[in-house]
Structure 1
Amino acid sequence: MIVRMAEPADVPVLAELRDIDEDDLPAYAAWVSAHAGTHLPFVAEIDGRVVGCAWLLVAERVPGNGAMDRRYGDIQSVMVRAEHRGQGIGAALMEAILVEARIRGLLHVTVHSGRRAVDFYLRNGFEHHRQLLLWEPAS
């Protein structure tokens, strides 16, 4: 298995993994290109086939607390093809993302997880945090 940062040639498979319709591929490719500085896609390959992906959003907090650079990360859109789950691919993607987070000096990395994946993130170094609060608009 190889885990690497995705390249422009990977956009079609990234779209497929996100269930983006083929008709929407040009708009998706434009979005990926426009957000290349903030949304970093990683892919996992086996025998040259992309079998999983995960994204690292790099965002900035307002300068303060004695620091001008207050960047943090958020993990998004982690996907592993069903037939490849349980083989350590998700963990390898998380390792690559967290290495990148360290290289970039990010303050922290968050993830908004579905219930089924919470244990996965806990096994990969994440923990529940008492200060994270969420607001959602009324429907």
Structure 2
Amino acid sequence: MQIRFALSSDLPQIVEIYNDAVLHTVATFDTVPRTLEQQEQWFEQHGAAYPVLVAERDGRIAGWASANRYSDRQAYARTAELSLYVRQDQRGQGIGKALFERLLAEAKAAGLHTVLSRIVEGNDNSIHIHNLHGFDTVGTMREVGYKFDRLLNVVLMQKIL
């Protein structure tokens, strides 16, 4: 497996992995699959300050991670929100852990200071990996999401790089 910076040619597979999460999980609160055009716009907003990485295995994207701009307000420029998704048939093989570690290193190298994650309450695997990498729980936002006919709480986690 190789972890590398994402290329625009990776976007069809990135959006495929993401849309599977949209349709089948509460890992994202998007409820409508994204188009390739929307993902291209998302990718263009990143640049060197907000890295996007992919894990490639046998010529196929197995997962991806990104540091996303937290806010368009300038005072938040050194704060990012982490996103990480692994292809459904590739989970449990250490891909998420490898992406997580490399993304944190690249975020720090890019000059980011704080990384935030919003995780649906009950996603114990995600909360666990964040704890292992030094994230602290800073609060729970109650009933802020509605997906699959239920209200969902979100745990907010933070790491100072």
User: Per the shorter chain, which TM-score range?
Assistant: 0.7 to 0.9
What count of residue pairs does the alignment treat as equivalent?
Answer: 127
Which consecutive residues of structure 2, in runs of 5 or more, have no partner in the other structure? 20-32, 146-161
How far, CA to CA, are the matches of 1:29 and 1:121 in structure 2? 28
Deviation for aligned residue 1:50: 0.7
1:93 alignment counterpart: 99
Given candidates 17, 32, 39, the residue that maps to 2:43 is 32
Deviation for aligned residue 1:48: 1.6
The 1:62–1:30 alpha-carbon spacing in structure 2 relative to 1, beyond 3 Å, is: closer
Q: Normalization by structure 2: what TM-score?
A: 0.66
How far, CA to CA, are the matches of 1:118 and 1:95 in structure 2? 15
2:82 alignment counterpart: 75
For the pair shown, the structure with the greater C-alpha radius of gyration is 1
Deviation for aligned residue 1:89: 0.7
2:27 alignment counterpart: none
Deviation for aligned residue 1:124: 2.6
1:111 alignment counterpart: 117
After superposition, the C-alpha distances for 1:11-66 in whole angstroms (9 at most, x for unaligned) are: 11111111146xx2234323422x13365321111122111111111447655xxx
**8 Å CA contact 1:91, 1:124 repeated in 2:** no
Moved over 6 A (4+): none
Deviation for aligned residue 1:134: 4.8
How far, CA to CA, are the matches of 1:120 and 1:71 in structure 2? 23
**8 Å CA contact 2:50, 2:80 repeated in 1:** no
The RMSD of aligned alpha carbons is 2.8
Identity of aligned residues (%): 30
Deviation for aligned residue 1:70: 5.7
Q: Normalization by structure 1: what TM-score?
A: 0.74
Q: Does 1:122 align with 2:131?
A: yes
1:4 alignment counterpart: 4
**8 Å CA contact 1:62, 1:70 repeated in 2:** yes
How far, CA to CA, are the matches of 2:42 and 2:129 in structure 1? 29
